[in-house]
């Protein structure tokens, strides 16, 4: 890792290490395009952001190695919303 330079701007949580490019890249590059389904309730719409993309990735990592994951935080931080949106894309 001595040849890999960490980006100057942002925080450490704004980047992930890409094994394909061997560089730190921003999570915002991995955010999917937003396509709203207005036939649903407005409260069920989840707009993909860098944070939701990061959380879905972490859930995928834990699922791939069969490890549990505990979401903690105060009310209104999005724990239930992130998990519900994650499970809607599973088969």
What's residue 1's pLDDT? 63
Per-residue pLDDT of the chain (91 residues; tens, 9 = 90+): 677 788 888 899 999 999 898 899 999 999 999 987 788 788 778 889 999 999 999 999 999 999 999 999 999 988 999 999 899 888 7
How does DSSP assign 43-89, residue by residue? Answer: GG-----HHHHHHHHHHHHHHHTT--------TTSSHHHHHHHHHHT
Eight-state DSSP code of residue 15 = E
Q: Answer whether 26's CB lies under 8 Å from 50's CB.
A: yes
55 CB neighbour count, 10 Å cutoff: 20
What's the predicted TM-score (pTM) here? 0.81
4 CB neighbour count, 10 Å cutoff: 9
Q: Answer whether 55's CB lies under 8 Å from 83's CB.
A: no
| Residue extents of the structural domains in the chain | 1-30, 32-88
């Amino acid at each position: 890792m001595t040849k890999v330079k960490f980006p100057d701007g942002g925080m450490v949580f704004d980047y992930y290490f890409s094994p394909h490019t061997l560089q730190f890249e921003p999570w915002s590059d991995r955010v999917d395009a937003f396509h709203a389904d207005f036939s649903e309730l407005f409260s069920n719409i989840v707009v993909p952001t860098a944070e939701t993309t990061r959380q879905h990735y972490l859930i995928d990592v834990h699922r791939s190695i069969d490890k549990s994951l505990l979401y903690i935080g105060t009310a209104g931080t999005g724990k239930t919303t992130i998990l519900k949106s994650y499970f809607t894309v599973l088969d």
